[in-house]
C-alpha cells in the first residue's frame, strides 16, 4: 500500500513538472536599437497556459515610459507521431517610449501562472539620438510612430515645485505650489502630482488653476496645484522630487495601418481623422526642494502651549450671565487665523464650583470652535475664570498668549419647589362637601361626545385632516431628501449633474459666434467630464479618456453613443492642444450633439 501511494505521488509530481515544462513565458522587443523620438514595442508571451490570464505588471524600466496596448491570442498546431497537438499563446503588448539616450536593460519580468512563477530574460536596448543611427536590415523601413521624447521636450514642458521659504519650524504650515508649464505642446489627462510624504503631513490639493504667463522669455500655459505641507521631522528634509503623469498627443504620420494601397485611391477612407493622432504617457519630474526644519524654542514656552504655530486670534463668549444655581451657561471659544490647525487643542475649561460637560468641537479649516455647557452649583460662584490660548508666532519667532476673561456672572439661589395641587379638586371646601354649583362628569362626557359627533360628520373636517396628513408626509419626505443631500455627497452630485451641465452650456453659442474655437471646445470638454464625474462621484481632473470609455462600456452604454462622446472629446483635445481649426457649422453640430448626449446619458443613468 505504501509503495502504491509513493508511486501515485511521484506520478502526480511528474505530471506537474511536465505541465510546468509545457508553459513558457518569454519577452521580446521589436528592435535592439531605437531612436529617441520613436517607440519600442515590448511583447510578453505566455504559451501553453489555458487560464484566463491578466496583463503582466511591468517593473520600473530605466530610460523608458511604458504604456499597455492590449492582449493578442494565437494558436498553433504541431504534428507528433502523426497526431496534431494544439498550442495556445497569449501575448501582452506594451509601447516603451524612450526618455534619454544610452544603453538600458529591460529587467527580468516575473509572472505567476497557475501557482507557478516564471521570469523572462533581461534584454539590453540602445536608445540613439536619431533614426539615421539605427541599423535597419537591407530594404527595411522603420514603421515606428514618431513619438516625441521627454529629452526633446525639456524646454517645452516641465514641472516645478515651489515653497515660500526654505527655513521653517517643526509642524509649521508651509504653502506648496506645483506648476506644470507647457509651451505649445498638446497634453491631456493630467493627473494630480505625487511625492513621497516621509517627514511631512499634507493637506488635499485645491482645485487646479489654469493661467498663462511669461517664463524665461517664453509664454507658457500653466496648470497650478496648491496644497499645504507640515514638516514633522527636524533637520534637512527633502520634498520630492514631485512627479506628474499625463498623456502627450502626437501625430503618427499616417492614419492607414494596412499600407498605402489598401483603400480607394490608395487610402483607407474608413479611418477617421483622429486615428492619425496617438498619445504617449509621460511622467514629469521636478527638482527636489530641501527644507531646513528648526525646533521650537524651549526657554520661553508657556505651560498651556499645545502646538499652535502661526498667527491666531482667540475669542470667548459666555451667556447668559444671570442664572440660578444649577442652570446651564453656554461657553463658546473661537480660534481663527493663519497657521497649523491640525496639531493643537482647544483650551480646556476647569474651575471649582462648576459642573462641566464635554465640548462640541468643530474644525472648519482656518477656524476652530468649541461650545460647552457649564453649570454653576452655588451662589458663591461670581465669575467664569479667564481662559488662555498660547501659540508660537512665526513672524515674531516667539510665543504669544491671548487671555480672555474673567467673565462676571450673577448666580441666584434656586427657587423652592412649588406646592403640589390636585387639578380638578380646587373647589372642595374644608368641610368635605361640595360647593353650591353641582358638577356632573356624565354631563361633561355627553357634551364632548356630541361635539365629536358633529366634527366627525363634517366633510370639511375630513378634507382638512387629509390636507394636514398630506402636508405632514410631504414635510417628512422633504426633510429626508434635504438630509440626504447634506449627508450623501454622491447623491447630491448625481442629482445636480444635469442642471449644472445645462447651465454651463448656455455661453457655448456665444463662443461660436465670436469664433473662439479653443474656448468653446475647452468648455464642451469640461462640461462632459464634469457631468460624468458627478454621476460617478469621481474627481473630474483624474478622469481620463480611457477610464471614461471603459466605465461606459462596462455599464453597457450604447456603442454609438460612446463613439459620439469619444469623437467630441478628441476634437476638443485637438482644438485645445493641437490648434486644430474647426468651422462654426461643425462647432454648432458638436454643441447640439453634446446637448443630446447629456439628455441621453441622464436617461441612461436612471
The answer to whether residues 111 and 15 touch, using CB atoms and an 8 Å cutoff, is no
pLDDT in tens, 263-294: 333 344 334 444 456 777 888 899 999 999 99
- Helix or strand run (H / E) with residue 410: strand 410-412
In this structure, the answer to whether residues 460 and 577 fall within a common structural domain is no
Task: Decide if pLDDT at 1 tops 60.
Answer: no
Residue 307 contacts by C-beta under 8 Å, 6 or more apart in sequence?
A: 171, 340, 343, 344, 345
pLDDT in tens, 209-237: 988 877 777 778 899 999 999 998 899 99
What integer pLDDT is reported at residue 329 of this predicted model?
Answer: 93
Residue 283 lies in a domain: yes
CATH label of the domain that carries residue 118 = 2.60.40
Write the DSSP string, 180-242. Answer: EEESS--EE-PPPPB---TTEEEPPPPPPEEEEEEETTEEEEEEEEEEEEEE-S-EEEEE---
- Helix or strand run (H / E) with residue 479: helix 459-487
In this structure, the answer to whether residues 476 and 532 fall within a common structural domain is no
What integer pLDDT is reported at residue 420 of this predicted model?
Answer: 37
Q: What are the two backbone dihedrals, phi and then psi, of residue 77, each rounded to the nearest 5 degrees?
A: -125, 135
The answer to whether residues 184 and 317 touch, using CB atoms and an 8 Å cutoff, is no
In this structure, the answer to whether residues 494 and 468 fall within a common structural domain is no
What mean pLDDT comes out for the span 588-597? 89
Residue 155 contacts by C-beta under 8 Å, 6 or more apart in sequence?
A: 183
Task: Decide if pLDDT at 561 tops 50.
Answer: yes
Task: Decide if pLDDT at 376 tops 90.
Answer: yes
Residue 565: C-alpha distances to residues 491, 511, 582, 598 (Å): 24, 20, 17, 10
Residue 436 lies in a domain: no
**How many domains would you assign to the chain?**
5
Residue 140 lies in a domain: no
Highest-pLDDT range among 187-191, 292-296, 481-485: 292-296
pTM check: above 0.85 = no
**3-state SS of 33-83?**
EEECCCCEEEEEEEECCCCCCCCCCCCCCCCEEEEEEEEEEEEEEEEECCE
- What value, to the nearest 5°, has the Cα angle with vertex 187 and ends 183 and 193? 95
In this structure, the answer to whether residues 287 and 162 fall within a common structural domain is yes
In this structure, the answer to whether residues 171 and 279 fall within a common structural domain is yes
In this structure, the answer to whether residues 258 and 322 fall within a common structural domain is no
| pLDDT band, very low/low/confident/very high, at 563 (cuts 50, 70, 90) | confident
Q: What is the overall mean pLDDT for the chain?
A: 79
The answer to whether residues 531 and 500 touch, using CB atoms and an 8 Å cutoff, is yes
Higher-confidence position of 571 and 447:
571
In this structure, the answer to whether residues 498 and 588 fall within a common structural domain is yes
What are all long-range contacts of 47-55, with beta carbons under 8 Å and residues at least 24 apart?
47/23, 47/87, 47/88, 47/89, 48/22, 48/23, 48/24, 48/87, 48/88, 48/89, 49/23, 49/88, 49/90, 49/113, 49/114, 50/88, 51/113, 51/114, 53/90, 53/113, 55/92
What integer pLDDT is reported at residue 295 of this predicted model?
Answer: 93
In this structure, the answer to whether residues 287 and 165 fall within a common structural domain is yes
| pLDDT band, very low/low/confident/very high, at 434 (cuts 50, 70, 90) | very low
Q: How far apart are CA 427 and CA 438, in angstroms?
A: 11
Q: Going along 521-565, which residue ranges are E strands?
A: none
| pLDDT band, very low/low/confident/very high, at 439 (cuts 50, 70, 90) | low
Least confident of 123-127, 425-429, 508-512, 541-545: 425-429
pLDDT in tens, 306-354: 889 999 999 999 999 999 998 999 999 999 999 988 888 899 998 999 9
Least confident of 47-56, 321-330, 544-553: 47-56
In this structure, the answer to whether residues 163 and 285 fall within a common structural domain is yes
The answer to whether residues 171 and 340 touch, using CB atoms and an 8 Å cutoff, is yes
In this structure, the answer to whether residues 111 and 33 fall within a common structural domain is yes
Residue 275 lies in a domain: yes
In this structure, the answer to whether residues 466 and 535 fall within a common structural domain is no
Domain boundary among 461, 487, 513: 487
Q: How far apart are CA 286 and CA 299, in angstroms?
A: 39
User: Left, alpha or beta for 39 (phi > 0: left; psi -120 to 50: alpha)?
Assistant: beta
The answer to whether residues 555 and 532 touch, using CB atoms and an 8 Å cutoff, is no
The answer to whether residues 178 and 287 touch, using CB atoms and an 8 Å cutoff, is no
What integer pLDDT is reported at residue 262 of this predicted model?
Answer: 38
Residue 302 lies in a domain: no
pLDDT in tens, 56-86: 888 888 888 888 877 877 655 444 444 445 5
Highest-pLDDT range among 171-185, 403-417, 455-469, 549-563: 171-185
Domain hosting residue 592, numbered range: 490-604
H helices then E strands: how many in the chain? Answer: 9, 31
Environment class of residue 425 by beta-carbon count within 10 Å: exposed (0-12), middle (13-18) or buried (19+)?
A: exposed
Domain boundary among 133, 165, 183: 133
The answer to whether residues 330 and 369 touch, using CB atoms and an 8 Å cutoff, is no
| pLDDT band, very low/low/confident/very high, at 463 (cuts 50, 70, 90) | confident
What mean pLDDT comes out for the span 420-436? 40
In this structure, the answer to whether residues 597 and 510 fall within a common structural domain is yes
The answer to whether residues 457 and 449 touch, using CB atoms and an 8 Å cutoff, is no
Residue 241 lies in a domain: yes
Q: Of 214, 450, 475, 200, give the one whose Cα is nearest residue 340.
A: 200
- Helix or strand run (H / E) with residue 158: strand 157-163
Higher-confidence position of 74 and 157:
157
Q: Of 143, 119, 246, 133, give the one whose Cα is nearest residue 188.
A: 246
Domain boundary among 294, 325, 355: 294
C-alpha cell at 398: 516667539
Higher-confidence position of 186 and 376:
376
Number of residues that this document lists for the chain: 606
The answer to whether residues 170 and 294 touch, using CB atoms and an 8 Å cutoff, is yes
Environment class of residue 285 by beta-carbon count within 10 Å: exposed (0-12), middle (13-18) or buried (19+)?
A: middle
Residue 10 lies in a domain: no
Residue 87 lies in a domain: yes
Cα 163–chain centre separation: 23
pLDDT in tens, 2-38: 555 555 555 554 444 444 457 888 888 888 888 877 7
Q: How far apart are CA 335 and CA 367, in angstroms?
A: 6
**3-state SS of 141-155?**
CCCCCCCCCCCCCCC
Q: How far apart are CA 328 and CA 372, in angstroms?
A: 10
Amino acid at each position: 500500500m505504501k509503495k502504491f501511494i509513493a508511486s501515485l505521488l511521484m506520478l502526480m509530481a511528474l505530471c506537474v513538472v511536465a505541465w510546468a515544462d509545457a508553459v513558457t513565458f518569454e519577452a521580446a522587443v521589436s528592435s535592439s536599437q531605437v531612436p529617441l523620438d520613436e517607440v519600442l514595442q515590448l511583447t510578453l508571451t505566455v504559451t501553453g497556459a489555458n487560464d484566463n490570464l491578466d496583463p503582466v505588471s511591468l517593473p520600473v524600466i530605466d530610460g523608458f515610459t511604458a504604456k499597455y496596448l492590449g492582449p493578442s491570442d494565437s494558436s498553433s498546431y504541431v504534428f507528433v507521431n502523426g497526431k496534431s497537438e494544439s498550442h495556445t499563446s497569449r501575448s501582452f503588448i506594451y509601447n516603451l517610449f524612450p526618455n534619454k539616450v544610452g544603453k538600458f536593460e529591460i529587467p527580468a519580468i516575473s509572472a505567476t501562472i497557475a501557482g507557478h512563477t516564471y521570469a523572462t530574460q533581461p534584454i539590453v536596448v540602445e536608445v540613439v539620438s536619431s533614426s539615421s543611427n539605427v541599423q535597419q536590415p537591407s530594404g527595411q523601413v522603420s514603421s515606428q510612430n514618431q513619438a516625441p521624447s521627454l529629452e526633446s521636450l525639456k524646454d517645452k514642458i516641465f514641472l516645478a515645485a515651489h515653497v515660500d521659504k526654505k527655513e521653517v519650524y517643526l509642524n509649521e504650515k508651509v504653502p506648496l505650489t506645483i506648476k506644470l508649464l507647457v509651451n505649445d505642446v498638446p497634453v491631456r489627462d493630467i493627473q494630480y502630482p505625487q511625492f513621497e510624504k516621509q517627514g511631512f503631513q499634507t493637506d488635499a490639493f485645491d482645485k487646479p488653476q489654469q493661467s498663462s504667463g511669461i517664463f524665461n522669455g517664453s509664454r507658457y500655459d500653466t496648470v497650478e496645484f496648491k496644497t499645504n505641507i507640515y514638516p514633522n521631522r527636524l533637520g534637512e528634509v527633502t520634498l520630492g522630487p514631485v512627479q506628474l503623469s499625463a498623456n502627450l498627443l502626437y501625430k503618427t504620420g499616417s492614419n492607414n495601418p494596412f499600407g498605402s494601397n489598401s483603400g480607394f485611391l490608395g487610402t483607407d477612407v474608413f479611418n477617421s481623422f483622429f486615428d492619425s493622432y496617438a498619445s504617449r504617457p509621460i511622467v514629469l519630474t521636478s527638482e527636489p526642494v530641501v527644507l531646513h526644519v528648526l525646533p521650537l524654542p524651549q526657554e520661553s514656552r508657556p505651560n498651556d502651549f499645545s502646538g499652535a504655530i502661526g498667527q491666531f486670534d482667540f475669542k470667548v463668549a459666555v451667556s447668559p450671565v444671570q442664572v440660578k444655581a444649577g442652570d446651564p451657561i453656554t461657553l463658546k471659544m473661537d480660534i481663527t487665523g493663519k497657521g497649523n490647525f491640525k496639531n493643537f487643542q482647544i483650551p480646556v475649561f476647569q474651575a471649582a464650583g462648576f459642573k462641566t460637560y464635554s465640548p462640541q468641537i468643530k474644525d472648519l479649516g482656518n477656524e476652530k470652535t468649541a461650545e460647552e455647557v457649564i453649570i454653576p452649583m452655588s451662589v458663591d460662584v461670581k465669575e467664569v475664570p479667564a481662559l488662555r490660548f498660547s501659540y508660537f508666532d512665526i513672524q515674531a519667532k516667539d510665543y504669544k498668549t491671548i487671555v480672555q476673561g474673567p467673565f462676571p456672572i450673577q448666580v441666584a439661589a434656586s427657587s423652592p419647589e412649588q406646592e403640589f395641587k390636585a387639578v380638578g379638586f380646587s373647589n372642595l371646601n374644608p368641610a368635605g362637601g361640595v360647593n353650591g354649583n353641582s358638577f356632573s362628569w356624565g354631563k361633561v362626557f355627553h357634551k364632548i361626545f356630541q361635539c365629536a359627533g358633529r366634527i366627525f360628520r363634517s366633510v370639511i373636517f375630513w378634507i382638512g385632516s387629509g390636507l394636514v396628513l398630506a402636508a405632514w408626509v410631504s414635510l417628512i419626505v422633504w426633510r429626508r431628501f434635504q438630509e440626504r443631500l447634506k449627508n450623501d455627497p454622491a447623491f447630491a452630485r448625481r442629482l445636480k449633474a444635469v442642471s449644472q451641465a445645462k447651465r454651463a452650456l448656455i455661453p457655448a453659442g456665444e463662443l461660436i459666434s465670436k469664433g473662439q474655437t479653443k474656448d468653446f471646445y475647452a468648455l464642451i470638454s469640461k462640461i462632459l467630464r464634469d457631468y460624468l464625474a458627478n454621476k460617478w462621484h469621481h474627481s473630474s481632473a483624474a478622469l481620463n479618456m480611457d477610464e471614461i470609455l471603459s466605465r461606459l462600456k462596462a455599464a453597457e452604454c450604447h456603442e454609438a453613443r460612446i463613439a459620439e462622446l469619444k469623437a467630441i472629446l478628441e476634437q476638443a483635445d485637438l482644438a485645445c492642444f493641437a490648434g486644430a481649426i474647426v468651422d462654426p457649422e461643425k462647432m454648432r453640430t458638436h454643441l447640439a450633439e453634446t446637448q443630446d448626449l447629456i439628455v441621453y446619458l441622464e436617461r441612461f443613468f436612471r
